[in-house]
Amino acid sequence: MINLAWLVPVLPAIAFVIIIFLTRRLQMVSALTSILAMAGSFIISLGIVFEVLAGPVTMDNPVELSARWLEVPGSVFIQAGVLIDPLSAVMLFVVTFIALLVMIYSIGYMKGEPGYSTFFAYLSLFSCSMLGLVVSNNYFQIFMFWELVGLCSYLLIGFYYHKDSASQANKKAFITNRYGDFGFMLGMFFLFLLFGTFNFRELAAVIPSYTNEALLTVVALLIFVGPIAKSAQFPLHVWLPDAMEGPTPVSALIHAATMVAAGVYLLARGFVLFESATTALIIIALIGGFSSIFAASIGLVQRDIKRILAFSTMSQLGYMVMAIGLGSITAGMFHLTTHAFFKALLFLGAGSVIHAVHTQDIFEMGGLSKKMKVTTWTFIIGSLALAGIFPLAGFWSKDEILLTAANAGEYFGIPILGPIFLILGLSVAFMTAFYMFRLIFVTFFGEEQPGSHAHESPAVMTVPLIILSVFAIFSGFIGTPFTPNGFAEWVYYGEPHHPHPNYGIMIMSTVVALAGIWLAWLIYGKRAISAEMLANRFSTIHRILYNKYYIDEIYLWLFDRVMLGIADACRWCDRKIVDGIADGFGDGIRAMGARMRFIQTGNMQNYALVIFVAVVIIALVLAVPVLGGI
Amino acid sequence: MGDFPILLTIVLAPVIGALVILFIPEKDERLIKITAAIATFVSLVLSVYAYLVYDKTAGGFQFTQDFVWVERFGINLSLGVDGMSLPLVLLTAIVIFTGVFASWDMHSRVKEFFIFLLVLVAGVFGVFVSRDLFWFYLFFEVAVLPMYILIGVWGSTRKEYAAMKLTLYLLVGSAFALIGIIALYVYAKAQLGFGTFDIMTLGTVEFDEAFQKFAFFLMMIGFGFLVPMWPLHTWSPDGHVAAPTAVSMLHAGVLMKLGGYGLIRAGVFLFPLGAKYWAPLIAVLCIVNVVYGARVAMVQKDLKFVIGYSSVSHMGYVLLGIASLNYMSLDGAVAQMFAHGIMTALFFALVGNVYHKAHTREIAAFGGLAHQMPRVASGFLIGGLASLGLPGLNNFVAEALIFLGSWQVEKVLFGWLHFRVLSILAIFGVVITAIYVLRVVQRVFFGPRNPKWDHLTDARGVEMVPIVILIGVLVLFGIFPSLLIDTINVGVGPLVAKISAAAEIGGVF
């Protein structure tokens, strides 16, 4: 199967072409084409995963296939390649599996939408780009697909292009990501300058022996700017909440499970570089950790169901980035995997709710548990998994991250880091549990809204929810400290580190998660504490959180004043100075001509006078030597 | 095809087309257009054929032909293409063929319009296939003069001003180049013992350093007008805006490339030392092109002005590629000329389509146009994505090569400004480009449906010909760049060898 790995991204690309050129009018055919291609990719990926798990393919012994893509003799050689190791195999499985479920779900969710075929075409294009990114064997290729997933995200956020908010949001997403790509590109060029190759394995062979650590740190941080934007880390996170303007299945697939995780994947893929630059690693961990708590705090007070999930995604991505920054790609990738399942589940569940009630404000919902049993229960399972309740998937992956955090002091040789990151991680876990159960108590329990016609979604939507909740429950068992030959033996850097169970951390994380749920129940379930009273008492904090720390406003101001200001100055300069000089030159010549014109009077006497004067002058000049001395 | 004069036919097909049109009655517009389409189609087919059969292992000038013109002065009509000019011949053929279809809705003085258009394009072909500098210059003038009439008569928005400005600028530029060519001729004659305008023979002459600095300066200014290099650029946005659709396409798509091509062929190739000396100046000015051009584009109100300034910005990348003087960057410069030509032709075809139907190009007047014109909107979006350098489209490959090439330059200008800082500024240009392109796309095409534009019809029939062909080329060479780059490699290789053989000298800064 591994030899067919190149087909995994190619199949959805074929589906895209077929839909765009042939089946746009035939909605169901388009959907089926997409799904069939995706199923093909999924089966191949599954085959690859089994082969990797069974066979000799490990992190140290990957399979690489490549072809020449672009060459300038003696200067650069860029490959189109496939690199299969447990890291990419796990990602292939996650992406194809979730993409397949999301496509099936979309059959129901997108029913009756104009642009049904286009939607599936875009989903296929996205799958192609994302899978191409996953299998890349070099930085150049990963950068190309990195931009292409950004394009698909742009197209799908703007799917409802008639809405101004959507067309603003997709522009914002693309441009914010461009800033990230700018840094990524510079970093990539530096790597090429230093080592003369883009290939991951060739780089991995030479980077560790490179001695200029300061330069490596700069390069690593530049490349990290890419993930900051793509994985919505502070301060380039502003696009992700707005990206929720896209259809909900898109939010589930692109803006929760796969594309936004690409940043984490890149960090894992290029970890040899980051590992060689310790300062860069600490900065990565700090940015991840900060983003995580920053986003979680905003999530506490939002009202829009999708935005709450968006901030939760940002927060969890921060968790993963932090884990990798703390030196464990195993923990980061493990959480990426489990998170992909339960966050896709939550988004699809939210989609099912929105489908039923046609609003996204949780305070306009309520009491949905009676009418939407499957949605409610799967959503609760997803939330429990996200909150990290034993023994669901999130518990194990979060535990792994907290373990890594506790070891941070040892890893870097700076003892204070351990407690800092552990406390940070536990606070995020508390907030996560709180905002998820706030959402659940308000949406699914609470009072029913008068005149609500909510109903359960069709089976084509609920079956994916059920499948995902199975994974949300059980997928954590691949990586528990008690699992022999588990996740830590597949995806690792250097040597596999089998985690030892740390019951202290397990208990602590369970306690904070339960505390968060309990507090949410007190406020929104039992209503023992009034939410309004809290909001009033802490009104300043509430306002700052609700307005997302006013980051968007600051950026808008900067853009209007600085970006457009410089642009206006340039335009003025072009019109008044550059053109002014050129036109002035032309006018000058014309004016000179106008003056000269008076000489050409056409009057014989004038000409005669000029000739006479000239003759006299010439005669005088000639006469000077003869007549002598003036 | 044996001895069939391919290049001569490519040049002459439009001329013959123009001659045939002379005899077609004015009223028979359809027949005139079909004749023009056939004439340019012949050139296109032959260009594609030449591109495919060009022997990349042999390299050098191929399909050569020589006709003695003025023996005493060593002026020959010698034709030939190498890996550098071949893509540009192909570009010209694609742009003019699609341009004819983009002019299908032209209804005023159709006969004269197509005659001038075909003469213009014959001149452009001539420049790219000449191996003789005299003819190179002559063809260039043939390409410039019809432009004056085409803009002055069929243009819009301050057309007289723009036509005059464009012609004057280009003539001033060509005067510089002419002085350079004559000086070169005189100098070479003293060295060789006979007079010649043949580029390859001239390339064997060892010009001394002082002369190289002088001659390259003239070429730099002369062709700099054409590229256009800041601050000699203002003719180009005005010209773009005023010109009718097909002329804008040719103008931005091909005519500006004469500058880049001339600068490489008659500048860098003949005077590598001079190029090394002046490269820092070009590098600094091209960054102004890139960043400043993009900034100005950001605040334009007229769609065509946005594209006009984006051309100024993108041609800055070509100059950066030239100024970096290495294999990757020069490859990138040629590829960027090709890619930008296709992309900007696409833009102008689409804007022309909208303008023809809506009679305005003011960005603020539009909104939600994707409802009425989904195909135009998709085409414009793809053009925009090419413009901002999206992978999978041709422009990305070109820009990446230019960036990679310029990144390798270890020069320090003024004693403190590292060349890499210039590269970084240039790369930041892609961010600014994304901003203005996406703003325009959003303001013109997205948003709620505006009933005011319900009478607009989407592109269809012949209007789709340019859109489909141009997008197809962008995608083809974007996904399989070696189809283009391998050919360019063959042309740039000898040039790079010559540059590295030349002594290292300090730059002007």
pLDDT digits (tens, 9 = 90+) for A113-154: 888 999 999 999 999 999 999 999 999 999 999 999 999 999
Which residues, in sequence order, are CB contacts of A148 under 8 Å at separation 6+?
Answer: A125, A129, A132, A133, B390, B391, B392
The C-alpha atoms of residue A336 and residue A356 are separated, in whole angstroms, by 30
The C-alpha atoms of residue B501 and residue B60 are separated, in whole angstroms, by 18
Does B296 sit within 8 Å of A192, measured CB to CB?
no
Residues B490-504 have pLDDT tens digits of 999 989 988 888 877
pLDDT of residue B149: 87
SS3 A484: coil
pLDDT of residue A350: 92
Radius of gyration of chain B (CA): 22
Does A72 sit within 8 Å of B234, measured CB to CB?
no
Does A185 sit within 8 Å of B442, measured CB to CB?
no
A599 touches chain B (CB under 8 A): no
Residue A565 binned pLDDT confidence (cut-offs 50, 70, 90): confident
Contacts of A163 in chain B (CB under 8 A): 448
Contacts of A165 in chain B (CB under 8 A): none
Inter-chain CB pairs, A–B, below 8 Å: 128
Does A145 sit within 8 Å of B327, measured CB to CB?
no
Query: Which of A178, A193, A571 minimises the CB distance to B430?
Result: A178
The C-alpha atoms of residue A38 and residue A105 are separated, in whole angstroms, by 13
Q: What percent of chain A has pLDDT over 90?
A: 53
Structural tokens at position A4: 């067919």
**Residue where the block lists tokens 């697939």:** A253
Contacts of A169 in chain B (CB under 8 A): none
Query: Which of B299, B328, B446 minimises the CB distance to A564?
Result: B299
Query: Which of B292, B391, B424 minimises the CB distance to A570?
Result: B292
A174 touches chain B (CB under 8 A): yes
pLDDT of residue A494: 81
Structural tokens at position B181: 């060519």
Contacts of B486 in chain A (CB under 8 A): 71
pLDDT beyond 90 at A370:
no
Inter-CA distances, A540 with A157, A531, A554, Å: 32, 15, 18
Nearest partner of A267 among A335, A193, A315, judged by Cα: A335
Residue A626 burial (C-beta neighbours within 10 Å; 0-12, 13-18, 19+): exposed
Answer for the pair A398, A430: CB distance below 8 angstroms, yes or no.
no
Structural tokens at position B408: 């390798």
Neighbours of A39 (CB within 10 A): 16
CA distance A13 to chain B (A): 12
For the segment B427-449, the average pLDDT, to the nearest whole number, is 91
pLDDT of residue A599: 67
Residue B401 identity: L
Name A361's bridge partners.
Answer: A304
Neighbours of B162 (CB within 10 A): 24
Arithmetic mean of pLDDT over chain A: 89
Helices in A110-257 by DSSP H: which ranges? 116-135, 139-157, 164-195, 200-206, 213-230, 239-242, 248-252
pLDDT of residue A628: 60
For the segment B420-426, the average pLDDT, to the nearest whole number, is 91
Residue A435 binned pLDDT confidence (cut-offs 50, 70, 90): very high
CA A67 remoteness from chain centre: 28
**What's chain A's length in residues?**
630
Residues B386-397 have pLDDT tens digits of 999 999 999 999
SS3 B507: coil
Nearest partner of A260 among A159, A119, A130, judged by Cα: A130
**What's chain B's length in residues?**
509
Query: Which of B401, B442, B448 minimises the CB distance to A72?
Result: B401
Neighbours of A212 (CB within 10 A): 10
CA distance A434 to chain B (A): 37
A629 touches chain B (CB under 8 A): no
Residues B81-124 have pLDDT tens digits of 999 999 999 999 999 999 999 888 888 888 889 999 999 999 99
The C-alpha atoms of residue B481 and residue B478 are separated, in whole angstroms, by 5
Residue A261 identity: A
Cis peptide before B228, with omega less than 30 degrees from 0? yes
CB burial readout A108-141, b (16+ within 10 A) else e = bbbeeeebbbbbbbbbbbbbbbbbbbbbbbbbbb
A72 touches chain B (CB under 8 A): yes
DSSP state of B255: I
Helix (H) or strand (E) holding A623: helix A604-627
Residues A210-219 have pLDDT tens digits of 888 899 999 9
Does A75 sit within 8 Å of B326, measured CB to CB?
yes
**Residues of A (510-569) whose Cβ lies below 8 Å from B:** 563-564, 566-568
- Confidence (pTM): 0.91
CA distance B72 to chain A (A): 39
Nearest partner of A454 among A363, A344, A375, A343, judged by Cα: A375
Contacts of A164 in chain B (CB under 8 A): 446-448
Neighbours of B94 (CB within 10 A): 26
Q: What percent of chain B has pLDDT over 90?
A: 47
Q: What percent of chain B has pLDDT over 70?
A: 100
The C-alpha atoms of residue A624 and residue A607 are separated, in whole angstroms, by 26
ipTM of predicted assembly, 2 dp:
0.92
Distance spanning both ends of chain A, measured CA to CA = 109
SS3 B299: coil
Query: Which of B231, B392, B401 minimises the CB distance to A578?
Result: B231
Name A78's bridge partners.
Answer: A70
Structural tokens at position A102: 């999301």
Arithmetic mean of pLDDT over chain B: 89
Structural tokens at position A178: 């461009």
The C-alpha atoms of residue B379 and residue B376 are separated, in whole angstroms, by 5
Residue A384 identity: L
pLDDT beyond 50 at B1:
no
Distance spanning both ends of chain B, measured CA to CA = 51
Nearest partner of B394 among B440, B337, B321, B320, judged by Cα: B337
pLDDT beyond 90 at A542:
no
A195 touches chain B (CB under 8 A): no
| φ, ψ of residue A66 in degrees (nearest 5) | -155, 160
Contacts of B165 in chain A (CB under 8 A): 582
Which residues, in sequence order, are CB contacts of A392 under 8 Å at separation 6+?
Answer: A342, A381, A384, A385, A472, A473, A476
Query: Which of A140, A167, A192 minimises the CB distance to B442?
Result: A167
Answer for the pair B509, B427: CB distance below 8 angstroms, yes or no.
no
Radius of gyration of chain A (CA): 32
The C-alpha atoms of residue A305 and residue B331 are separated, in whole angstroms, by 51
Phi and psi based region of residue A55 (left: phi greater than 0; alpha: psi -120 to 50; beta: remaining): beta
**Residue where the block lists tokens 């023809």:** B356
**For A198, which residue in chain B has the nearest alpha carbon?**
B404
Residues A21-60 have pLDDT tens digits of 998 888 899 999 999 999 999 999 999 999 888 878 888 8
The C-alpha atoms of residue B436 and residue A564 are separated, in whole angstroms, by 10
